Amino acid sequence: MHLLVNNAGMPARGTFLTVDSELIERVIAVNYLGGVWMSRALLPGLRRGGADRGAHIVNLVSIAGTTAFAPAGAYAASKHAQLAFSRSLSAVLGGSGVSVHAVLPGFVETEGFPQKGVLKSPLLGRFVIGPERVAEAVLRAVEKGKREITVPWFPYRAISILQAIAPGVIGRFASMSDYRTGSV
């Protein structure tokens, strides 16, 4: 075995104060622990594959793993955990022949995440991408040995950097952003 892509994910729109507690637990289980358990279960095969030609674990994290987005607090928390897991696993597996990559897409339009229909902000809607851009980023991460890759780079990488150096700015922006009423 040479490649594992951890891509399980589910939305959790709503703040920590409004979303059901069961949804918080489910989104953590799917978005974070799903990748942990799959990686642990398939690691023996990946190590065998890595000994031959190298193997890869790709975690589809989300830009939400680097920013605090209050209108989807539980989702963001699950993606923060997934990014920390990816970074930790990369350190643990260093030199083993198994490389770990984190792909951090912004808003992606899919059946499970119909972003254009649920985002209130027309500005955020302009940066929604299709899944083919994410697939290209996965290939680029593996082929070029990138540990982390943000797609699209602008504006999301800039937002990640701004979150790290001036979290209050992102917090104010996030408090002005939201999902349309009735979106789950």
Catalytic residues: 75
**Distance separating alpha carbons of residues 168 and 3, to the nearest angstrom:** 38
Judge contact between 1 and 51, C-beta under 8 A: no
Distance (Å, whole) CA 69 – CA 77: 9
Q: Report the C-alpha gap between 54 and 59 in whole angstroms.
A: 17
Contacts of 28 (CB under 8 A, 6+ apart): 74, 77, 78, 81
Rounded Cα gap, residues 77 and 131, in angstroms = 22
